[in-house]
Structure 1
Amino acid sequence: MPADEDSPLPDAKKSRALLPLEDFTGSLSQKVHGSLKQAILSLSYRPGELMQKPEICAELGVSRSPVSEAMARLAAEGLVEIVPQAGTYVTRFSMAEIREGAFLREALELAAVELVATTISNDQLLQLKRNLRVQEALMQDGDTAGFHQMDAEMHELILSFTGYRRLTSLAETAWIHVNRARHLNLPVPGRMQSTLAEHTAIISAIEARDPQAARAATKHHLAQLILSLEPLLIERPDLFTGG
């Protein structure tokens, strides 16, 4: 079904601009997939919105074939629903999937931060602290999109510092539905400030080489997202399906 026109999300049809294919790597269909996925995750495409293939083809300058291939991949990832004879719609949020994704991500990230707190090098710590300073500057500028990007990078750095190559991709897969829902959360007044404080606590615990404190700070941080999203199930049922 089409998205609710009374949604507080920006009018995607007026403001959406797909990222150019040059920003992505791989085959043509992989590049199209990357551009469309970014637009879905950033809520440029709203939950429930119909994705118009002719519009996408015109904007990206491609034929229907790579767009169809990209949409099939998005459907496999659970980001769109292809309805025969009706079209392709962006999936609405599912709180059940969000809770499951958060559970899986927490298991991975708590294990990672405990390990990193005992093995982190001075250079790795410097990378985290630089990231934190950029987050603070973006928060002060009110740059929600930039802050969100650096937030994600901080978590990716911690996962990568474990030395386990597959961990980041596993966490990203588990987090995909939570990641999309996060964009509903960061624009809330005060949330960037709270998030920065939570990130500071995590990095401070890592710097102190205290794995238990790092675990506790990370667990608290991850829990805040779910707590802040739960009320939306009642306040904005048009954005969700199921429970």
Structure 2
Amino acid sequence: MKIEHHSAWELDPTASITPQITRILRERIIQSDLKPGDRISESELAKSYGVSRQPVREAFIKLADQGLLEVRPQRGTIVTRIGYFAVLDARFLREAIEADIAKIVASDPDPAVVAELRHQLARQQALKGNDAAAFTRLDEQFHRTLAEAAGKSGAWRQIEGLKSQMDRVRYLSLAEFRIDALIAQHREVVDRIEAGDVPGANAAIRLHLREVLNDLPQIIAANTQFFDLPDGETPEPVNAPIQGGPNE
């Protein structure tokens, strides 16, 4: 297992260790720095960070619960493949929750929230090239800000645990498709919120979160070894109707 220590994956000795190691490993898996089938050593990781094995073990358990790691007693821990059904389920649940979040925020737009979202859009637009890692962090911040503005921080924490497999697909898609299109979709969400357009905000966030479905066949074809695919034909995703837009 290779150990990386660039700035985003360094430990802050003043903060709790287990959440940091969990975040670092989660990001490395999502960003394909750790790939499906890679083995991760609890003892090597603990030694690398100068910590005991207990926080590493706890991080492994959390990531196994998210479907990112498979802990095999006496045989080691490996990075899992991306579960096809897990991606569809996580995307469906995320859309259901975030569509309501967008409606709540648009029903009573807060100028301070809109200003913050506009600031985040500017930061996204300022990214140089197709910087997938940087955009992933800004994208996470954007969606978390919407949840917090709706008073649904707890719901967002639930989403974070569920959407890990979807995040892996989203990251792979950023290597194949332009980030500009996703930023434009973010801007449309903010425009609809600022206008107090509840149906429009609902439609905009749903279309944005369905983008991954459009990309999925090409992503799988380019990264077949990353996926745990069902036998036979892949099922069509089930989606709710979009207010003011097509039922895609």
TM-score, normalised with respect to structure 1: 0.85
Q: Residue 24 of structure 2 aligns with which residue?
A: 35
Q: Residue 201 and residue 215 in structure 1: after superposition, are their counterparts in 2 closer, same or farther (change >3 A)?
A: same
Match of 2:201 among 209, 214, 218: 214
Equivalent residue letter for 1:217: A
Q: Give the C-alpha shift of residue 74 in structure 1.
A: 1.8
Match in the other structure for 1:236: 223
**Distance (whole Å) between structure 2 residues aligned to residue 24 and residue 124 of structure 1:** 30
Please tell me whether the aligned partners of residues 66 and 162 of structure 2 are also in contact (alpha carbons under 8 angstroms): no
Greater displacement, 56-65 / 43-52:
56-65
CA separation of 1:23 and 1:186: change in aligned 2, threshold 3 A: farther
Give the C-alpha shift of residue 146 in structure 1. 1.6
Residue 216 of structure 1 deviates from its aligned partner by 1.1
Note the 1:6-155 alignment, pairs <5 A: 13=2, 16-17=4-5, 19-22=9-12, 25-26=15-16, 28-138=17-127, 140-155=128-143
Aligned to 1:185: 173
Q: Cα RMSD between the aligned structures?
A: 2.1
- Find the aligned partners of 2:138 and 2:18 in 1 and give their Cα distance: 27
Distance 1:210 1:34 in 2: 35
Q: Distance in 1 between matches of 2:97 and 2:76?
A: 36
Once residues 95 and 52 of structure 2 are traced to their aligned partners in structure 1, the CA distance between those partners, rounded to angstroms, is: 40
Give SS of 2:70's match.
Answer: strand
Q: Where does structure 2 lack aligned partners over 5 or more consecutive residues?
A: 231-248
Which SS does the other structure have where 2:214 is aligned? Answer: helix
Mark the CA change 1:24 to 1:239 in structure 2 (over 3 Å): closer, same or farther.
Answer: farther
Q: Does 1:169 align with 2:157?
A: yes
Distance in 2 between residues matched to 1:187 and 1:24, nearest whole Å: 35
Q: Distance in 2 between the 1:241 and 1:30 partners? A: 27
Output the CA distance in 1 between the equivalents of 2:98 and 2:145. 11
CA deviation map 1:183-230 (0-9, x unaligned) = 1111224x2011111111111111111111111111111111122123
What is the CA distance between 1:130 and its match in structure 2?
0.6
Change in 2 beyond 3 A, CA 1:105/1:84: same
Give the letter aligned to residue 48 of structure 2. Answer: E
Q: Distance in 2 between matches of 1:60 and 1:43?
A: 21
Report the CA distance between 1:171 and its aligned residue. Answer: 2.1
Larger deviation: 208-217 or 66-75? 66-75
User: Once the two structures are superposed, what CA deviation does each residue of 1:80-126 show, in whole Å capped at 9, x if it has no partner?
Assistant: 00123321001110110000000000000111101111112111110
TM-score (norm 2): 0.83
Indicate the percent of aligned positions where both proteins have the same amino acid: 29
Number of paired residues?
Answer: 228
Task: Show the counterpart of 1:6.
Answer: none
| 1:196-211 matches, cutoff 5 A | 196-211=183-198
Change (3 A) 1:155 1:29: closer
- Deviation at residue 147 of structure 1 after TM alignment: 1.7
Is the alpha carbon distance of 1:24 and 1:164 closer, same or farther for their aligned partners in structure 2, counting shifts above 3 Å?
A: farther
One-letter code aligned to 2:104: L
Which string of whole-angstrom CA distances, capped at 9 and with x for unpartnered residues, describes residues 44-94 of structure 1?
211221112343123211233332232122212221001233210011101
